[in-house]
Structure 1
């Protein structure tokens, strides 16, 4: 069996969940390090895979927005560090801002004052980590088909997923209606700008949105949407406890992984929370009576894509923290650790095994 990447089509499209597991693995690796060289390598790996396997679909254009959002978060983190100070001690004073006197009850908060190179470098490392997390999530949004991801959701989350997809498609449909009506007015020789034209276009747009809502509601009712099977009360209670407890455990674990004091309990809480949530979702799916038409297959390529991201996140999660977090006091230049960098390069596997985007010549 060959693993040479074929051209993507409906029957061999990669499972959307594989892209999300790959991206979450990279994001886990980013949460474990503040080394700007490793974070830059993670961004480069995610960007290369997106460039190699991104399609022309509308959701594939979201990666650039996440990159801009990450850069904005980094800039805001630096500005806050300059204006509000930092608990990081430093000896290399860059400038001194006028300090605003605060009352006694605000002790510990500082506005203005000294700005040191150490605090700026610490803010840069911290902001770069958060920006890398956002970029990894943006890679998953650009590569995973949201409709196929909805089809793969557990039965317990299907109704919420449908609501999210309908809400996300409202704005594109409204923009398309506005463009269609403006074109029609232009062909009739009527003005398309100004307040009067906007008011005349707004009513047909709202009418079209209402008609689509009624049509969607009728089609969902005809397909039995919202109907549930009867399950024992004890099963419903166990399902709620496992799902909510699991999600709470994941939140606690992620908080621990992002803080220096929570390394001991962060990863176990995440693993236990995910296991409990999966069991709860599995039990909750027993209430769903829906069927699936042509479900997506989880094949060898999906295992390779998801496994590469899991390998990157898992190996860096157990790596020595002193190697992944360069010190800022005293201020030293970060070094690129060889073995963690090679581990991050495992994230390039999807660029070679995932199906290729269809070429423009194959439109017939």
Structure 2
């Protein structure tokens, strides 16, 4: 844990919300391109920041699991392109698989058939974009302390935040328990791989998860989790109206922003919806009285971390509109992707948090 001297000298860890904004902004940047070189650069950027800034806590070790999940998603996408075909036409045939005849109601779907290089490259680009999104989410999980993130949530979202934080920390704890038990079995000369090793490791892992859940429930009950304060009925009705109206406004405004016909009203409706929703959350927080011990300040470093990610997302969005051919390399005809200069420099701005933030304390 960070000592009092470290906190006084300004070495407090960055606000966890800033890490989530940085990581989600990199994910937004990944949705703006299918260029595999830029996507690989985004993955490398997140990996370097995670390797530099994460702590040794169990929840910080989940990045490797997200990378493996991203790799599995990429392989599954390629498998579907081979087994189920692709609507992308192509002339470079790689292999011709036996095709299974399907009934008339399954028109548009095929099993087997010709596999072309264009279809595989299109599936690779598409799957790599989704894999990059998963890697960015994994970076946020590895860098943002879930307990501190829960402490920073508004009171109206406290119960939901507890559920989300417990869900996010469940997988890292399982991974840490499985690694510890496998290491113990290897030291005893017992198998830790295969079906037999999985059965001997899985049961203690699940038992530990159950014991941890019971202990967490007892601790939450002892701290008065779930208690609410008395709020007048008009305030409750106003809170409900503001929250629901704000969410509807956000949906309508987002639709207007994304469509060409709604550009005139989209942004004002979106801003009005956000204002109403935030007001509803503020009023809803009165039902959940909470105190914060050493609240995390949103300091200059947090602004810089969030600004780095938002800048990357904004510049990639601008590049996608200015030079779409560089960010979306062609598949038909098949062409080799190139690394555009200034979008690559924009992605490298995401590395700045590795140099301006301290390592997260364990």
The CA distance in 2 between the partners of 1:329 and 1:150, in whole Å, is 48
2:27 aligned with 1:27? yes
SS at match of 1:230: coil
Q: How many residues are matched?
A: 331
> Where does residue 74 of structure 2 map in the other structure?
74
The alpha-carbon distance between structure 1 residues 66 and 217, as it changes in their structure 2 partners (threshold 3 A), is closer
The CA distance in 2 between the partners of 1:100 and 1:274, in whole Å, is 51
The CA distance in 1 between the partners of 2:287 and 2:17, in whole Å, is 23
Contact 1:118 1:331 in 2 (8 A): yes
Mapping 1:204-283, distance limit 5 Å = 212=215, 215-221=218-224, 225-231=226-232, 232-242=235-245, 244-245=247-248, 277-283=277-283
> Where does residue 334 of structure 2 map in the other structure?
331
The alpha-carbon distance between structure 1 residues 70 and 279, as it changes in their structure 2 partners (threshold 3 A), is farther
> Where does residue 293 of structure 1 map in the other structure?
293
> Where does residue 317 of structure 1 map in the other structure?
317
Contact 1:53 1:351 in 2 (8 A): yes
Q: Which runs of 5 or more structure 1 residues have no equivalent in the other structure?
A: 1-5, 187-192, 360-364
Mapping 1:61-210, distance limit 5 Å = 61-166=61-166, 172=173
The alpha-carbon distance between structure 1 residues 357 and 295, as it changes in their structure 2 partners (threshold 3 A), is closer
Deviates more, 1:127-136 or 1:153-162: 153-162
> Where does residue 51 of structure 1 map in the other structure?
51
CA positional deviation for 1:205: 7.0
Contact 2:243 2:279 in 1 (8 A): no
The CA distance in 1 between the partners of 2:236 and 2:294, in whole Å, is 32
CA positional deviation for 1:130: 0.4
Contact 1:32 1:316 in 2 (8 A): yes
C-alpha offsets along residues 190-217 of structure 1, whole Å, 9 cap, x if unaligned? xxx99xx99xx99x97996686356324
CA positional deviation for 1:250: 9.6
> Where does residue 342 of structure 1 map in the other structure?
345
Aligned residues: CA RMSD: 4.0
Contact 2:242 2:276 in 1 (8 A): no
The alpha-carbon distance between structure 1 residues 216 and 7, as it changes in their structure 2 partners (threshold 3 A), is closer
Contact 2:15 2:298 in 1 (8 A): yes
Contact 1:227 1:289 in 2 (8 A): yes
C-alpha offsets along residues 75-111 of structure 1, whole Å, 9 cap, x if unaligned? 0000000000111111111111111111111111111
Deviates more, 1:278-287 or 1:142-151: 278-287
The CA distance in 2 between the partners of 1:64 and 1:293, in whole Å, is 32
The CA distance in 2 between the partners of 1:13 and 1:85, in whole Å, is 49
The alpha-carbon distance between structure 1 residues 37 and 162, as it changes in their structure 2 partners (threshold 3 A), is same
Contact 1:33 1:324 in 2 (8 A): yes
The alpha-carbon distance between structure 1 residues 211 and 108, as it changes in their structure 2 partners (threshold 3 A), is closer
Contact 1:239 1:284 in 2 (8 A): no
The alpha-carbon distance between structure 1 residues 100 and 270, as it changes in their structure 2 partners (threshold 3 A), is farther
Q: Which runs of 5 or more structure 2 residues have no equivalent in the other structure?
A: 1-5, 189-195
SS at match of 1:329: coil
